[in-house]
Every structure is written in C-alpha cells, then in structure tokens.
Amino acid sequence: MHDTIFHSVTLIHDKCMGCTNCLKQCPTEAIRVRDGKAKIIKERCIDCGMCIKVCPYHAKTAITDDLNKIKDYKYAIALPAPTLYGQFKNNPSIDLILTGLLEIGFDEVFEVARAAELVTESAKKLLKTGQLKKPVISSACPVVARLILMRFPNLIENALPLLSPMEVAAKLAREQAIKKHGLLSEEIGVFFITPCAAKVTCAKAPIGQIDAQIDGCISIKDIYLPLVTAMKNTKEKPLRTSSLKGITWAKNGGESYALNEKRRIAVDGIHNVIKVLEEVEDDQIIDVEFIEASSCTGGCIGGPLTVENNFIAKTKIQCIELPQKQIDDGIDIELESVKYSIPIKYQPISNLDSDMGIALQKMDQIKQIRSDLPGLDCGSCGAPSCLALAEDIVRGFANELSCIFKLKEKIGNLANEMVQLNQIGFGQGNQIKIKGENNESKRTN
C-alpha cells in the first residue's frame, strides 16, 4: 500500500490565527480549528491547495524541496511544468528559460510539455479502442484523481488510466540519461518544477504505479528569483523540443484541445469540478466523450505555488509563438509504457460506524443535534458548518458548547437561574445578592 498519509499541504503553526478562511473554503471539509489553530484531517485532504491560496496570514504552505537538494546527485535533471513558461515579465523565449535552469545548477532539462504531447498521442490511441467507459475523465490533475478515489468510486472506471506528463517525463529523462551518459539510476536526481502542491504528494505516492519516478519537487515560487537572475546573465541555447500542443496543457482546456475531442467539457475550480462529477455519477451528463477537470482556477497556471496571476499567465501562454515545424527529438513511446501498471482503488473516508445499524443511529443523532443548532454555518465553533459540528459532536470530537450561540444561551440560562435564586430569598443575610451596580463594576474589570 502507498503511504497515503503524507501530504504536501501543511500548517505553519505560529502564523495561524485560527480564523475561518481556510475552514470555510476547504472542498472536502478537511480542516477544523481546535485550540485556536487550524488542523488538517489528513484522511480527507486532497492537497488542492485552496487553503494556501485563501489564508491571509500565509499560515498554509506546501512542503517542497530546497534547490540545494540537486547537489545531492551526480546528475540533476529539471522537469519544468509548462506553467513555468507563463510566469515571466517581458515574455522570454522558452529556450532562455530552459538555459536559465542549466545555469542555476541542473545538468539537463526535460520539458513536461513534451511529455504531455506523448500522453496526448497515447490517449488518442486508447480512446480509439473504444474500451474506456464514457465520459472519459482526465487523470492528469492529481487533485481530481485523488478526489475520484476518495469520493467518486463509481467513476474510477471513467478515469483515463494513463500516467501524468510529469511521470512520463521523469521516466523518459532518466532512461535517456542512463543511456547517454552511462549513469546509474541512483546517481540521477529528477526534479519537477511545480506549480502544484498535489504533484508533490503524487511524486512521493504515485497514482497508478508502484515506483516513484521523481526525486524532488521545487516550487515555481522558490525557483523564480534565482532563475530570473540566471536568465539575465546568459545567452539562450536551442533546448526546446516541445510544441504548442504540449505547452497549452498549462491552462484548463488545453489537454482536451490537444486531443481534438469535440464533445468535451473543460471544468476548472475544485468546487465546480465536484458539481460536474456529481452529475456524471448520477447519469445526468450524456453525449460527452471527454472531461478535463482542473482543481485550480484556469488550470495549472492557477496553482498555489505559482508567481504570476493566473489570468495574466493564461494570456502569456496563449501568446507564445513558435515556428510551425515540429522539432524531431526521435522520442517515440509504446502505449503500454504509459498505462497505469497497477489498478487504482477506492479509498473511502471512514464512515460513522462499521455497523450500519449503529451508523444509522448516529446519523439520527446528527440530524437532531443539527436541527437544534442556529444554522448560520459561521465556523466560529471550528467546524465548517453546523452539520459538520453535529457530526463532530456525535463522533466525539466536539461538544455542543463549541457553538458560541449555544454557549451564550447556556450562560444566559445560568444567569437567569441565579437571579431567580436571589429573588426567592436564598441569599437573605448572606450578602450574595446580585445588584445592578456590582454587575457593572465586574464588566469593566
């Protein structure tokens, strides 16, 4: 089994203010605020990075590798995501960006955009066989792939059983380096230059294959400054082998465009993706052949580890102009080599109880507790909604007084009881009368 507990998305404890921003935006309700700090429920997190994007205190981050890690290897290969090409001012050429990567210490570059073209060709072949369940859902976005495994088990058969461009690039780059330079596999370090937190998780615990192909992930954010500096001080070399078909994968709609599939849906933004998948699951979407779903707004260019605003990055990717003639790098791959080598499996989130009778009782309790809560879904209790709090109470992780409105009610009731006790004369001669002025002096304390 894979270690599914590793997550790239993590909390910087000291920066967290315990507010409700991430709590309310998390698409899988994987966050709770406990003791004034956000906690990520690992079992539910799909590494979408929404919390990284919405945290005003920058208390959420993705664990990525330091650029210095490339020094641990005799031969370091950079795999730049196509998103990288849309991140710079003054629209530098792709050759200059790739040359810059060599300048900052990599020995070689292999473009993920090139691998994306190869995945497109393989997908075309696979779609032609007619063996895939329609609509076919792209598995390239690791968040969507994880979401399907956890929440849409009925759609596992619809997921395109192909490795992602990142994994294909890693495989090919390593094979080439071994062949060309006579290196041992362990002497080679393959590093993905990532816009995405979920890719970091995927690199460690791949979907659809056993062996991890990636030795490290460096975020675009972290590599940006050294790369810009290096690009200023170097002359570009002809390194690019990708074409627009692969580069366009950086934005949502690019993959299905490259596939040339007319009956397609391209959906972006994790909440929208969930809506579309719900409809597919309920047989409400018919006559669609292919669904390209990206967790981030705009596609990978909207990733949490990018530098440029995703709308500007989109225009930059669209404006890339390349010579018509395709560069022949002699790479050709067998369909079998990019297919999933192990079947993907349902990874359910734990239900209320393994005994369905008890689970039903608990669900009934949840319903009752929920109807008694104010229904504001304010998040002040630390759960994203009143329903989530009711569930947490039944699961034993919270109590009703976590709700500030319930707490206020309880305090009010207690105060009333004390006043009543006073009125029936309980306090006569004992000096525990509650007087208006005493109350007020207490309040100013």
Binding site for another protein (CB under 8 A): 151, 153-154, 278, 281-284, 346, 351-354, 356-361, 363-365, 367, 391
152/290 with CB nearer another protein: 152
User: Could you tell me the smallest distance in angstroms from the CB atom of residue 209 to another protein?
Assistant: 24
Do residues 10 and 63 lie in contact, with contact meaning Cβ atoms separated by under 8 Å? Answer: yes
Q: The tokens 């391209």 sit on which residue?
A: 266
For residue 109, the cross-strand partners are 78
User: Could you tell me the smallest distance in angstroms from the CB atom of residue 279 to another protein?
Assistant: 8
Residues in CB range of 224: below 8 A, 6 or more apart: 87, 307
User: Could you tell me the smallest distance in angstroms from the CB atom of residue 353 to another protein?
Assistant: 7
209/361 with CB nearer another protein: 361
160/390 with CB nearer another protein: 390
103/377 with CB nearer another protein: 377
User: Could you tell me the smallest distance in angstroms from the CB atom of residue 276 to another protein?
Assistant: 13
Q: What does the alpha-carbon distance between residue 208 and residue 89 come to, in Å, rounded to a whole number?
A: 37
User: Could you tell me the smallest distance in angstroms from the CB atom of residue 275 to another protein?
Assistant: 10
Residues in CB range of 18: below 8 A, 6 or more apart: 33, 36, 37, 38
User: Could you tell me the smallest distance in angstroms from the CB atom of residue 389 to another protein?
Assistant: 15
Six token digits for residue 164: 């992602």
User: Could you tell me the smallest distance in angstroms from the CB atom of residue 135 to another protein?
Assistant: 15
74/367 with CB nearer another protein: 367
Kindly provide the b/e burial profile for residues 297-335, where b requires at least 16 CB atoms within 10 angstroms of the residue's own CB. Answer: bbbbbbbbbbbbebeebbebbeebeeeeeeeeeeeeeee
Q: What does the alpha-carbon distance between residue 296 and residue 272 come to, in Å, rounded to a whole number?
A: 10
User: Could you tell me the smallest distance in angstroms from the CB atom of residue 393 to another protein?
Assistant: 14
24/204 with CB nearer another protein: 24
Residue 368 burial (CB count, 10 A): 11
User: Could you tell me the smallest distance in angstroms from the CB atom of residue 264 to another protein?
Assistant: 18
193/267 with CB nearer another protein: 267
333/363 with CB nearer another protein: 363
54/363 with CB nearer another protein: 363
Q: What does the alpha-carbon distance between residue 274 and residue 290 come to, in Å, rounded to a whole number?
A: 16
Residue 416 burial (CB count, 10 A): 10
